[in-house]
Structure 1
Amino acid sequence: MGIAITLEQACAWLREQDDILILTHQNPDGDTLGSAFALYYALRALGKRVRVECSDEFPRKYRFMFPDYQPEAFEERFVVAADIADTQLFGKKLERYSGAVDLCIDHHPSNTFYAAQTYLVADAAATAEAICDVIDGLGVTLDLPMATCIYTGLSTDTGCFRFSNTTAKTLSTASRMVALGVDNAEINLQMFSHKTQSRIAIEREVYNTMEYHFGNRCAVIWMTRAMLEQAGADDAELEGVSAIPTQIEGVEVGVTLREKEGGYKVSLRTSRYINASEICARLGGGGHARAAGCFLAATLEEAKRQVLVLVKQAFDRYDAEQ
């Protein structure tokens, strides 16, 4: 198990390094990619050789952050993980680095400290918020490409600044990025408004699976591989689907189950008083108080049962305290 370090220590260590590999998590979102590429641009500005990798292909919707990126071939001498709380999120291609990460920069309270050293900002809305501080600490002047990446990370993990993890610092950081020229309106439009026909098709199927439990305070949806194949939807088009249940009036807990090889990936979203991370931790996962996940090697019905048992216990504890 590695150790926690301060911002100053993380920046001092990064200044000493070269030939740096930055890892992003599988099924990459705007925060892991925004964080990685903002740091990539900053380290490049210091004259260092840097490369960003992911087990999965970079989704097309995020390529505006790195339109001209061509990975440079070199043997890495220092490995950084951006927004990766656990080695289980590395994916097949990057799993060889599970025991070789020198520095992890993250904001997930459930971080397992697998890296030699970890700069963790658990109250940050997004890892991009911490990366902004790292760039400042490195003495690099923020430019538009870095700012675009940071803004995208912030916007992604706050649901366009709608979620309860949005803080005054989050908003001031976003404001700073906009002042640097970030086209926030266009980014928000692309990230949260535009949808492909296949995304609409899978949403239609998902709504048909909706189940309500515990006095309609919990809603469950699911996606099987057959449903995804029929809709023609890929991983990049599924971001935000797990937020659907908690958009329903009166629903406090939203459960989304997605069929993967060997079982179901569970995404848990809560709107107020139920801690999603605590529930998922009991199932081998983790995350944040309002958004967490885990993987269950089970059938659909068994996966639902396991999650719902814990959700009911959480509701019962809350009700008993009122």
Structure 2
Amino acid sequence: MAAITASMVSELRQATGAGMMDCKAALTETGGDIEAAVDWLRKKGLAKAAKKAGRVAAEGLVGIAVSGTRGVVVEVNSETDFVARNEQFQELVRSVAGVALGGNGDVEALKNAAHPAGGTVQEAVANAVATVGENMTLRRVGLLNVSQGVVASYMHNSVGDGLGKIGVLVALESSGNAEALQAIGRQVAMHIAATNPQGLDGNSIDPAIVERERAVLADKARSSGKPEAVIEKIVESGIKTFFKEVTLVDQPFVHDSSKTVAQAVNEAAKAAGAPIVLKGYLRFGLGEGIEKETSDFAAEVAAAAGGNA
């Protein structure tokens, strides 16, 4: 067998756009034959996938899988919402979430994990790209677990079991009744889906964000003529108000605005029969943070017609 060199891998990557490890595997399987390696990648769907990789995939689905004290949420993107309604794509996302449930929450590890249909998760995504004809990406994965208690979930804009547009997990640590924990956990998850808090509590907010808020509050008080002696008190009061707006535990509970989320969880502990600690949460909103391409349809038509009306 011919030795697989870096230049051979580079040549194959340029020809197909496939990943380095995929190219190395293709060359190994074909004894270093470049043309055969190209065909090998095409059969795997990896070359086709690479050609579509430049297209923005901001649609798709969020998937959730939960088992007792462990839960995961994944985001798999497609180019159009039409594909997201496809049963094959939905089953892909559901299967990826299932694999992620046994993983460590690392997206690269998940891509390289074994897929139930054979091969890796990344190969399963690439095969779907080749079949459907749209770019798809496994964008991210999140994991929550507790030593005892539950991981509750909620899916907003659900299109199927564990699939939708906004997926939320809530980790509650407690020795209390699991059914009662699931009930309050789901309510808190629904709250998170609606309010999208920036953090669990004040300590989880980026200090830079807090300092920026302090600076804004101080400048505002100073510009209104407040004496320096009272500005600090005004700033501290403003920070408390800020935390009530952006931190989960301090937000007014959407199911009963007369109490905070923390108070609602403490009250639920009575029904559960044991104290409840809100350990953490994850909220995945489909496509958040992805810069979507915008286009002027009229301009595209005019350009296609050579600019003539």
TM-score over 0.5 (shorter chain) = no
Which one has the largest radius of gyration?
A: 2
Q: TM-score, normalised by structure 1?
A: 0.24
